[in-house]
Amino acid sequence: MPHFRHMEENMSVLVGKQAPDFQAVAVKNGTFDETFKLSDLKGKYIVLFFYPLDFTFVCPTELHAFSDRLSEFAERGVEVVAVSVDSHFSHLAWLNTPRTQGGIEGVGYPIVSDIHKGICKDYDVLAEEHGIALRGLFLIDRAFVVRHQVVNDLPLGRNVDEAIRMVDALKFFEEHGEVCPANWSPGAKGMKPSEEGLKEYFG
């Protein structure tokens, strides 16, 4: 499996910046949305993730994993959107293929076609020499600002629990004004972002 060390050296940090907007063809529930626009989701949280290719091996496990937890994202006001460099026709064919045959039948969130690779470039997840996306994930807040990003190499599938935990952490900070220390999870105490808060946390 190839490694893309040059990407690590040059990776753009989008955290704290407005999410790059895009309009493209997306497939959802077996139909084409010719004018899907990411900024139309502004006002909600967005988990935007990129995957290398349709009809591969790690990718369907990830797409199903996100789809299986879609109700939990919805409860938190989160829209999930996937992107790859495949055509919308390929997406549709994959969606029409049963899970038992390596397909993603039943996945219920939009899957965007980035066949011209401009979206991957804007989010700096394109492995140029291979023309496919690395496994990038971006958490975008309701003001359309990127608050979290992580990029995995091709062999490394993502953890949906961690994606949900990051949403919970962001919502906790927004609601309580306290920051989330290491290994924070819902129900754990936060910390005031000050020297006093740190002492109180460790005390």
* Contacts (Cβ under 8 Å, ≥6 apart) of 182: none
Query: Which of these, 192, 196, 188, 167, lies nearest to 179 by C-alpha position?
Result: 192
Strand partners, 126: 133
> Residues 24, 27, 41, 59: which is the catalytic one?
59
Residue 180 among the catalytic residues: no
CA–CA separation, 137 vs 94, rounded Å? 21
Query: Which of these, 24, 93, 36, 103, lies nearest to 67 by C-alpha position?
Result: 103
Residue 186: how many CA atoms within 13 Å on its side-chain side? 11
Angle between helices 58-68 and 160-176 (to 10 degrees): 40
DSSP codes of every residue in 74-90: HHTTEEEEEEESS-HHH
DSSP 191: B
Q: Which residues are catalytic?
A: 59
